[in-house]
Amino acid sequence: MDVLQLVVSGLANGCVYGLIALGFVLIYKATEAVNFAQGDLMMLGAFVCLGLTNEQFLGLPFWLAVPLAIAIMGAFGYALEVTVIRRMFGQPQVAVIILTIALGFVLRFVAGLIWGNQPISLESPMAGTDVRLGGVVLGMDEIMVIAVTVLLTVLLYFYFNRTRLGVAMQAASQNQLAAYYMGIPVKRLNSLIWALSGMVAAVAGILFASKGSVDPSIGLLGIKAFAAAVIGGFGSLPGALLGGIIVGLIEPFSARYIAAGYSQVMAYLLLFLILVFRPNGILAQIHSKKV
């Protein structure tokens, strides 16, 4: 029974990592920019929702605050691309990495200014309720996290495979120039991708906040989620989720069965080994260039 509980809590954590990783991968696939601020976008999403719904701030009803927060983060992602990221077009990847790291610093500071640096918890209807399943006590929040992640994955799958916009995004991510020749507005798609990844970050943030308290430094979780994305294979959407779940599962199990100090070590050790032996991740999408 212990194992099952570890699995569920690991899965719930892993889903949050996976969702942040999904944001990374969305942007990377479409624009080849690596958004190190994705964790901070998640943090911002959590705080926006919290600021809308918590009593001491705006006090809106929870089910109104959630879509509003997602919409705000979508708009924020769009604005970010238009104002800052687009200017970096054509610069080396590393420049964008550095830019987004710096952006993360600024976002963390701004969030600290607005909502304070103390941990706050989101007042959600799920908090604190338990579900009993044959002797195993599962938190309602954990089940919610897993359910929402599954739902979001299915939605994204249909979005990318069934809608015009989704297919256009796929085309742009495979070959930008060819997509441009086909009349796809690549620039606007890039902005939309950032909006989409802002929305995914908001969902991840709200889920994370419903599991515990948040403070501006949770943005650093993004680095772990980044490891998850690489483990799964950077540039593959299912890979991102898979990597997130792997990292989420490794942590509680290594803390439980090896030693408490090793939970972080194992995740990064796995990352390092994956990079050395399978540099393109478990679900690889990189091909070698022919000269």
Name the residues that contact other proteins, by CB under 8 A. Answer: 31-32, 34, 84, 87-95, 97-99, 101-106, 108-110, 112-113, 117, 176-177, 216, 223, 226-227, 230, 234-235, 261-262, 264-265, 268-269, 271-272, 275-276, 279-280, 285-289, 291
- Contact call for residues 222 and 104 (beta carbons, < 8 A): yes
Q: In the structure encoding, which two tokens stand for residue 175, read together?
A: 């070959």
**Residue number with CB closer to other proteins (102 or 147):** 102
Give me the residues paired with residue 214 across strands. 120
CB of 133 to other proteins, least distance (A): 35
**Residue whose CB is less far from other proteins, 136 or 284:** 284
Cβ proximity to other proteins, 11 vs 37, nearer residue: 37
The kind and range of the H/E element at 113 are: helix 93-115
| Closest separation in Å from C-beta 119 to other proteins | 14
- The span from the first CA to the last CA of the chain, in angstroms, equals 56
- Report the distance separating Cα 23 and Cα 42, nearest Å: 9
Amino acid 234 reads: F
Return the H-helix or E-strand segment holding 138: strand 136-139
CB of 48 to other proteins, least distance (A): 19
Structure tokens at 135: 């002797």
Closest contact distance (angstroms) between CB of 241 and other proteins is 18
Cβ nearer to other proteins, comparing 139 with 216? 216
Q: What are the distances in angstroms from CA 264 to CA 105, 241, 278?
A: 23, 19, 21
Smaller CB separation from other proteins, 17 or 206: 17
CB of 275 to other proteins, least distance (A): 5
Instruction: Provide the token pair at 8.
Output: 């569920």
